[in-house]
Amino acid sequence: MMLGKVVGNVVATAKLPILQGLKIMVVQPLDGERRPKGQTILAFDMVQAGVGDTVLVIDEGNSCRTILGDPQAPIRMLIVGIVDEIEQ
């Protein structure tokens, strides 16, 4: 799981049926100090995140497929939580 910040969204006019209704978001991964780390990624959104939200992203295909309930879904990254607060 990784921490990230939603920086944009992607519009897809055609998706596989299992992915219908899921938004595709552009996410900037963050390090432990909440600084940008690496390149942006694309992740499907399960929690109605928006641009500017800090989110939790699962980066493991089997876990994503389990959450979606489809062992054949072609997915690797899934936004599963919106972070309200971080304490260190």
| Model confidence pLDDT, tens digit, residues 48-76 | 999 999 999 999 999 999 998 989 889 99
Residue 11 lies in a domain: yes
Alpha helices of 1-88 — where are they, by DSSP H? 61-68
Residue 88 lies in a domain: no
Q: Is residue 39 assigned to a domain?
A: yes
Q: Give the domain extent around 31.
A: 2-15+25-82
What is the per-residue pLDDT for 14?
86
Q: pLDDT tens for residues 2-35?
A: 999 999 999 988 888 888 888 999 999 999 889 9
Burial annotation 37-70 (CB, 10 A radius, 16+ → b, else e): eeebbebbbbeebeeebbbbbbeeeeebbeebee
User: CA-to-CA distance for 1 and 58, rounded, in angstroms?
Assistant: 5
Would you state the pLDDT for residue 32? 83
The verdict on residue 20 lying in a domain is: no
CATH number of the domain to which 11 belongs? 2.40.50.220
The span from the CA of 24 to the CA of 76, in Å, is: 12
Assigned domain for 87 exists: no
**Residue 4 token pair:** 């990230």
Contacts for 47 with CB less than 8 Å, ≥ 6 apart: 55, 79, 80, 81, 82
Number of structural domains (the chain) is: 1
